[in-house]
């Protein structure tokens, strides 16, 4: 197992990267073959995922009272989710999702398994272990968002405002990466980081991520 935080994070991103074939929806959006109804479902599911993840990250930050680096990481994630929530409306509107439709929507269990597991981590995982698992998953999510944003512009004529939600997650986040590395390094030095559970959490997150996309498709 790598001995430094930077090496450990690189290894986690590599080893926990999903098989590209497990996501059937992103290639459809990237190629302009997904229906507007499917895109609307994506927006509606995200209306539930984003606030749930924000609350879970805030809880992890609160639990990390003895791990200030991890607390700062999860606080930063929660702030990012709040910003993303403000960008989601334009995408939903471009998909013909209004408030009435949002209120009437029945979420898909396969899509909500991911935020449910994030909430489980918030209650049960050591915060530093959760940092490693979440960071590996976010690398995958960012890649998906970049492909979706490109597909929406190229094939659906969505505006920059309508794509801003995906642009936000697709952009590199060096400050967040630095905070993740600091949290993992602190966990290594304190002995709080347990790579066995952390990698197990990461594998489950990637599985639930794949379930999200396959449920939509």
CA gap 122, 61 in Å, rounded: 9
**Cα–Cα–Cα angle for 151, 156, 158, rounded to 5 degrees:** 90
23-216 CATH: 1.20.910.10
Q: What is the pTM of this model?
A: 0.94
Tell me the residue ranges of DSSP E strands in 55-170: none
- Domain map (residue ranges) of the chain: 23-216
CA nearest neighbour of 206 among 65, 48, 12, 63: 12
What is the full per-residue pLDDT of the chain (217 aa) written as tens digits? 457 899 989 988 888 887 777 899 999 999 999 999 999 999 999 999 999 999 999 999 999 988 999 999 999 999 999 999 999 999 999 999 999 999 999 999 999 999 999 999 999 999 999 999 999 888 889 999 999 999 999 999 999 999 999 999 999 999 999 999 999 999 999 988 888 999 999 999 999 999 999 999 8
Tokens of 108: 């898909």
Tokens of 107: 């979420």
- In this predicted structure, what is the pLDDT of residue 1? 46
CA gap 137, 140 in Å, rounded: 5
CA gap 153, 151 in Å, rounded: 5
Measured between its terminal Cα atoms, the distance across the chain in Å is 37
- In this predicted structure, what is the pLDDT of residue 115? 98
Contact between residue 84 and residue 165 where contact means Cβ atoms under 8 Å apart: yes
């Amino acid at each position: 197992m790598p001995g430094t935080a930077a090496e450990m994070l690189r290894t986690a991103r590599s080893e926990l990267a999903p098989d590209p074939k497990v996501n059937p929806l992103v290639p459809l959006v990237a190629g302009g073959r997904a229906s507007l109804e499917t895109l609307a479902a994506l927006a509606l599911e995200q209306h539930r995922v984003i606030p749930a993840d924000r609350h879970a990250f805030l809880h992890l930050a609160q639990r990390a009272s003895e791990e200030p680096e991890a607390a700062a990481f999860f606080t930063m994630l929660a702030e990012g989710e709040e910003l993303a929530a403000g960008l989601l409306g334009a995408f939903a509107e471009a998909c013909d999702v209004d408030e009435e439709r949002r209120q009437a929507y029945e979420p898909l269990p396969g899509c909500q398994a991911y935020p449910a597991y994030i909430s489980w981590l918030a209650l049960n995982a050591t915060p530093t272990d959760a940092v490693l698992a979440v960071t590996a998953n976010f690398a995958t999510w960012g890649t998906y968002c970049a492909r979706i944003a490109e597909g929406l512009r190229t094939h659906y004529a969505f505006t920059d405002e309508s794509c801003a939600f995906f642009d936000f997650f697709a952009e590199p986040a060096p400050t967040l990466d630095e905070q993740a590395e600091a949290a993992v390094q602190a966990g290594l030095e304190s002995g709080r980081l347990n790579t066995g559970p952390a990698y197990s959490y990461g594998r489950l997150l990637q599985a639930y991520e794949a379930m999200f996309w396959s449920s939509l498709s």
